[in-house]
Amino acid sequence: MAFENPYPQYLEQKIDTKMIFSLLDELPQFVCLLAPDFSIPYYNRVFKQIFGDPGQKKCYDVVRGYNHPCPNCPLLNDLTDKEPFSWELTTKSGRIYSVNGRFFTDETNTRYILKTGIDITDKKKIEYDITRIDRMNLIAEMAAGIAHEIRNPLTTVKGFLQMLGWKSDLQQYQDYYQLMINELERANCIITEFLSLTKNQTEDLELQNLNTIIQTLSPLIHADALQSEITIVEELGEITDISLNEKEVRQLILNLVRNGIEAMEAGKDLKVKTYMDSDEVVLAIIDQGKGIEPEVLAKLGVPFFTTKEAGTGLGLMICKNIIKRHNAKMDIVTSSKGTTFYIRFPV
């Protein structure tokens, strides 16, 4: 029995170049053709959206902004195989693309490269976040396992140093004893920060006003600022009560304020501001420092990353944990004129 084609018009239709280009324009990934002279004879709609209209420019100028071919460009290599190759490309805007290329030759025996690129920025961010979570879990396990065991001998050593410092015949060594006690207290502070990382959820939430917590902290904040010749400016707006853990929020505010103070020179102002934004209570810590460099901003909150000589790299990480446990969000806006940390608490 002979097969009868129910759709003869589709099998007989010729697919021309215009139709192929139209199909390529509908793809969600960029597609371009790279000629031996590094020109781009064809590009699809997505490529133009990302890199702009190349016109007569060369590929290395359009994609990288170079005035010479990229050192690792496949066209510079005498490749004869037809196996595809791939690499990752970061654009000027910071987006990351997984690029695949394949050589082919036309009827004139001219060799071209067909390149396609898929945006993997979100995938990379997820991988980075997973790595951070794994690192935080490791730190939490370490903290839970050894913190208490370390604290006990530290307390013993500190007690004996204080006792020796009180002896009249050892007064000449008082400065040494005090230095050792200070270092022990710093070590104890680090352990306390470790322990705070082991908490997964905030307990003892109470309905209270953020302004009240700030006003309670005000003398301590002003005293810290005074030592660095910084002026604290409080602009506390009318806000609604929200569920907070007072102890954790105090720690959050102190950490952010002290970071702001350390980022500024003497004579500057640091503003602590609260206000309502739709259904959120916003806490803003605004400094007049030099701003945060992009490479530093990308690593803020990473365990043990710090730009301070005596820092532990855990302060901002603890702030992020507190914010997360309150179901809040943190936004950072920075420039050469200063940095603002926005903490948004849901009502």
Q: Which residues contact 208 (CB under 8 A, 6 or more apart)?
A: 241, 242, 244, 246
Looking at per-residue pLDDT, the higher value among 169 and 209 belongs to 209
With a pLDDT cut of 90, the percent of the chain lying above it is 21
User: Within a 10 A sphere around the Cβ of 98, how many other Cβ atoms?
Assistant: 16
Please report the pLDDT score of residue 92 as a whole number. Answer: 78
Please report the pLDDT score of residue 215 as a whole number. Answer: 92
On whether both 250 and 187 belong to a single domain, the answer is: no
On whether both 28 and 112 belong to a single domain, the answer is: yes
Mean pLDDT for all residues in the chain: 81
pLDDT, tens digit, 9 for 90 and up, residues 12-56: 455 566 777 788 888 889 999 888 888 998 899 999 988 888 888
pLDDT, tens digit, 9 for 90 and up, residues 67-89: 888 877 777 665 555 677 888 88
Quick one: average pLDDT of 329-343? 91
3-state SS assignment for residue 203:
coil
Q: Where among 93, 119, 145 does a domain terminate?
A: 119
Give the number of domains in the chain: 3
On whether both 51 and 142 belong to a single domain, the answer is: no
On whether both 97 and 226 belong to a single domain, the answer is: no
Say if residue 283 is exposed, middle or buried (CB neighbours under 10 Å; 0-12, 13-18, 19+).
buried
| 6 lies in some domain | no
Least confident range from 165-174, 258-267, 291-300: namely: 291-300
Please report the pLDDT score of residue 2 as a whole number. Answer: 46
pLDDT, tens digit, 9 for 90 and up, residues 178-196: 888 888 887 777 676 666 6
How many angstroms separate the CA atoms of 269 and 50, rounded? 41
| 176 lies in some domain | yes
Is the model's pLDDT at 108 over the cut of 60? Answer: yes
Please report the pLDDT score of residue 302 as a whole number. Answer: 63
Give residue 286's pLDDT band: very low, low, confident or very high (50, 70, 90): very high
pLDDT, tens digit, 9 for 90 and up, residues 246-265: 888 988 998 899 889 988 99
Q: What is the CATH number of the domain that holds 190?
A: 1.10.287
Give residue 318's pLDDT band: very low, low, confident or very high (50, 70, 90): confident
pTM: 0.49
| 10 lies in some domain | no
How many angstroms separate the CA atoms of 49 and 95, rounded? 13
User: Which residue is listed with tokens 């500024």?
Assistant: 264
Looking at per-residue pLDDT, the higher value among 138 and 58 belongs to 58
Q: Which of 19-33, 92-106, 152-166, 222-236 has the highest mean pLDDT?
A: 222-236
Please report the pLDDT score of residue 214 as a whole number. Answer: 93
pLDDT, tens digit, 9 for 90 and up, residues 205-247: 889 999 999 998 888 888 888 888 999 999 999 999 999 988 8
On whether both 112 and 130 belong to a single domain, the answer is: no
Quick one: average pLDDT of 165-185? 83
How many angstroms separate the CA atoms of 50 and 48, rounded? 5
Q: Where among 71, 90, 119 does a domain terminate?
A: 119
On whether both 323 and 255 belong to a single domain, the answer is: yes
Please report the pLDDT score of residue 7 as a whole number. Answer: 46
How many angstroms separate the CA atoms of 101 and 113, rounded? 6
> How far is residue 183 from each of residues 250, 310, 311, measured CA to CA in Å?
24, 11, 13
Please report the pLDDT score of residue 11 as a whole number. Answer: 46
Please report the pLDDT score of residue 152 as a whole number. Answer: 74
Is the model's pLDDT at 310 over the cut of 60? Answer: no
Domain that holds residue 24: 18-119
Is the model's pLDDT at 3 over the cut of 60? Answer: no
| 7 lies in some domain | no
| 94 lies in some domain | yes
Quick one: average pLDDT of 137-154? 70
Looking at per-residue pLDDT, the higher value among 236 and 131 belongs to 236
Please report the pLDDT score of residue 1 as a whole number. Answer: 42
On whether both 42 and 171 belong to a single domain, the answer is: no
At 257, list the tokens.
């304020």
Is the model's pLDDT at 329 over the cut of 80? Answer: yes
Q: What is the CATH number of the domain that holds 240?
A: 3.30.565.10
How many angstroms separate the CA atoms of 7 and 128, rounded? 50
